[in-house]
Amino acid sequence: MKTLLVTGGAGFIGSNFVRRMLAEHPECEIVNVDALTYAGNLENLLDVDSARYHFERADIRDRERVEAIFDKYEPDTVVNFAAESHVDRSITEPELFLTTNILGTQVLLDAAKRRWKLYPDDKYSREFKAGVRYLQVSTDEVYGALGKTGLFTESTPLAPNSPYSASKASADMMVRAYHSTYGMPVNITRCSNNYGPYQFPEKLIPLMINNCLNDKPLPVYGDGMQIRDWLHVADHCAAIDAVLTRGEAGEVYNIGGNNEMANIDIVKLILRALGKSEDLIVYVQDRPGHDRRYAIDNTKITSLLGWSPAYTFEGGMKETIAWYLDNRAWMEHIVSGAYMEYCRSMYSL
């Protein structure tokens, strides 16, 4: 990698990834492209001070703007984090998820494809002189729901159950098609639930931490027994780095943390860590189409690329809670009146 273009780099996972790549790849220029919607926050990167880091505010659906950024920086690698990602929001605003997650992905793929130069004697040749490598950051939610046993593998059929996961599955299929049709070097990574510093407080863990700190109700969907595999964001970023440096073009890699936990158990863990009463828990009506269980089989990436999660869930949660305690000003800046109105309308609090 000489020039890495990261979309959604001001968001939770993207900002952690930008920070890692600057530290681990001193030869690489990083271009962060972010629309700075509600979940994109440049405060996530205030500590980044490097001549190798560049920021461009842009919506990945804006074809003209994306093409101009590609022309300006000539990236050889693209990692696409940019996405609408909150399932609850996708239920009330599905069109936004379809346009950003599917059409935005296609704009990026086209911009990358145009940088490939075909041999002049064969316009359909699959051999290229130069080009851009593309990595799509996806989610385990594209696989649908598991029963009480079993794990998602890379060969598990896609069966999304929400507008969000349907939009991500569609984007994955577009990436696959560009590899099959045009021979573009692509990868798709599908991760389990992330946690860690800089996560926007609509997600479970930062929402519960923030509400605990302010003695507000902790809304728990249904009976709280939805099970997820939890992955520390630093482990996720390391896995993507491994795919970029050692992955085989055209392959899908599942990234899991080997930490299955029920939502209610995580809520109670946070309450205990912060010395709060379980009386703060409020069970609310479950959301439509709420998948019961996800779990990742990460054998492929661990065996072929040598990556494995470094964090235990206990250690990762201790570090995460400490980070939010030490960065309450960051949280307060993010939790705006509009965000609080969203919480009231979504959870009837």
Under a CB-based contact definition with an 8 Å cutoff, are residues 286 and 222 in contact?
Answer: yes
182 is catalytic: no
Per the residue annotation, which of 29, 76, 141, 291 is the catalytic one?
141
140 is catalytic: yes
CA angle, 87 then 175 then 20, to 5°: 70
223 is catalytic: no
User: Tell me, what amino acid is at 207?
Assistant: L
- Residues in Cβ contact with 332 at an 8 Å cutoff, skipping those fewer than 6 apart: none
Tell me the sheet residues that pair with 138: 190
Helix (H, G, I), strand (E, B) or coil at 341: helix
Question: Where in the chain does DSSP place strands (E)?
Answer: 3-7, 29-34, 53-57, 77-80, 133-139, 186-191, 193-195, 218-221, 227-232, 252-255, 260-262, 281-284
Tracing tokens 């959604």 back to the chain, one arrives at 8
Cα 203 to Cα 198: distance, rounded to the nearest angstrom: 11
Per the residue annotation, which of 53, 143, 164, 253 is the catalytic one?
164
β-strands 193-195, 227-232 pairing:
parallel
Per the residue annotation, which of 29, 84, 140, 172 is the catalytic one?
140
Residues catalogued as catalytic: 140-141, 164
